[in-house]
Amino acid sequence: MVISLNIIICEDNKEYIKQISKVVKLVFEESGLECNIKAFNIYEEAIKYIKSLNSYEDCLYILDIDLKQDKNGLSLGREIRNIDEYKGEIIYVTSYVHQMQSVFKYKLKILDFIDKGFDMESSIKEALNVYIKIYKDKIENESLIFKVGGNVFIIKPSDIICIETDKSKKKVIVYTIKNEISVNLTLKEVQEKLSNQFVQIHRSIIVNKEHIKKIEYINDDLYVVLTGGMKEIVSKRREKEIKACIIQ
């Protein structure tokens, strides 16, 4: 997948929404990352959208504290934390600096608190750059990153079923639970990026132990049956190691 982060803005002033959205687009374009910006001026609509998301690790919420509605931005932050379990990041913007103490009382784990009356655009840029650095560091530690043409693919190791050398032996094909990706790397180069969660079953294929469903013999040859029904042959000298993986 191409990197794309969810930026959720909740602000009751439409001019501020335009201003904040413009800064977000600019900073993300400069960083080389893509973002999906969703802006709301009604509390309930923001919550409805957030609940519809499948994951929250890639979410950044930019919230106005004083929404001039039944519930304020602090209540919104608390509800978000009940939904995302502190996985996303929150930036608060406000014209009322004295409300800063209230933010910390709510224990919302915020990234930044920005005063609308003091160079708001520069402050948002700084906060976004911090967020982007945090996000990039996190995905580098937790994911495998492959560049294919102009796209960057970020793959969780747990989503990889197996990795196989193609017929040219100049590329590998990464099979995931969602799709397959052809990458200009050798199997050895990819193997250097992998943990011991992966095991080589013969010289042209590496499999994820978590996706080995069973092993079976076909005409005296051992095969692993993987997620999705893929079957791959195991070299004779690696049979003992693969059997041990199944026993574990």
| Contact predicate 58/31, CB 8 Å | no
Average pLDDT, the chain: 88
- Residue 140: predicted pLDDT: 72
Could you tell me where in the chain the CATH 2.40.50.1020 domains are found?
A: 156-247
Lowest mean pLDDT among 83-87, 142-146, 184-188: 142-146
The structure tokens listed for 2 are: 């191409």
- Residue 233: predicted pLDDT: 94
Mean local confidence (pLDDT), 90-96: 90
The structure tokens listed for 182 are: 């052809």
- Residue 164: predicted pLDDT: 95
| Contact predicate 78/106, CB 8 Å | yes
Q: What is the DSSP letter of 145?
A: E
- Residue 127: predicted pLDDT: 96
- Residue 247: predicted pLDDT: 66
Q: Is the pLDDT of residue 68 over 60?
A: yes
pLDDT tens figures, 5-52:
899 999 989 999 999 999 999 999 888 788 999 999 998 999 999 999
Place of tokens 């003091």: 118
Q: Is the pLDDT of residue 101 over 90?
A: no
| Contact predicate 131/90, CB 8 Å | no
| Contact predicate 116/124, CB 8 Å | no
Q: Is the pLDDT of residue 2 over 60?
A: no
- CATH topology classification for 156-247: OB fold (Dihydrolipoamide Acetyltransferase, E2P) (2.40.50)
- Helix 14-31 × helix 120-142 angle, to 10°: 50
3-state helix, strand, coil in the chain (%, to 5): 40, 35, 30
- Residue 1: predicted pLDDT: 46
pLDDT tens figures, 205-220:
999 999 999 999 999 9
Does the predicted TM-score (pTM) go above 0.85?
no
Could you tell me where in the chain the CATH 3.40.50.2300 domains are found?
A: 4-142
| Contact predicate 161/207, CB 8 Å | yes
Task: Supply the Cα-derived Rg of the chain in whole angstroms.
Answer: 23
- Residue 39: predicted pLDDT: 97
Q: Is the pLDDT of residue 69 over 80?
A: no
- Nearest C-alpha neighbor of 243 from the set 219, 218, 212, 198: 212
pLDDT tens figures, 191-248:
888 888 899 999 999 999 999 999 999 999 999 999 999 999 999 999 988 888 776 6
Mean local confidence (pLDDT), 60-71: 85
Place of tokens 């309930």: 44
Q: Is the pLDDT of residue 111 over 90?
A: yes
Rounded to whole angstroms, the Cα distance separating 34 from 158 reads: 24
What's the CATH architecture for 4-142?
3-Layer(aba) Sandwich (3.40)
